């Protein structure tokens, strides 16, 4: 069991990239005691030419679902956001995964 799992990406200024694909993968019977959070913060503009996908998965891929023993949060914050393709945030417990606390997603533009 992993006791805490948080993925935090923080950029003080602008972030420009071709794509962003980031998630906590806790599938196939994995266990996280607390945490399970994914955060992407940009102090300036977030400019992505293609797709953005940020999330958490505890789904069952055949050997049992994963478990997070607390809240699970996906949080994205930037001064401005420009995405050329799809923009997806997710928290998945499909086919038998579980989250003991609340699951939430936040997208926020700050000044």
DSSP secondary structure string for all residues of 53-96: EEEEE---SSS---EESS-EEEEEEEEEEEESS-EEEEEE-TTT
Confidence of residue 4 (pLDDT cuts 50, 70, 90): low
The pLDDT mean for the chain works out to 86
> What's the CA gap between 31 and 66, in Å, rounded?
6
What pLDDT score was predicted for residue 48? 95
CA distance 23 to 39: 10
pTM of the model: 0.79
| Distance (Å, whole) CA 36 – CA 66 | 11
What whole-number distance in Å separates Cα of residue 76 and Cα of residue 88?
Answer: 11
Give per-residue pLDDT as tens, 63-85: 888 888 888 889 999 999 999 99
Domain that holds residue 71: 2-109
What is the domain count for the chain? 1
């Amino acid at each position: 069991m992993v006791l805490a799992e948080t993925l935090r990406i923080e950029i003080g200024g602008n972030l420009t990239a071709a794509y962003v694909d980031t998630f906590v993968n806790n599938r196939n019977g994995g266990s996280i005691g607390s945490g399970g959070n994914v955060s992407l913060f940009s102090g300036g503009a977030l400019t992505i030419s293609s797709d953005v996908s940020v999330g958490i998965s505890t789904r069952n891929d055949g050997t049992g679902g994963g478990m997070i023993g607390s809240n699970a949060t996906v949080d994205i914050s930037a001064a401005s956001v420009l995405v050329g393709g799809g923009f997806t945030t997710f928290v998945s417990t499909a086919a038998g995964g579980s989250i003991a606390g609340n699951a939430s997603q936040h997208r926020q533009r700050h000044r």
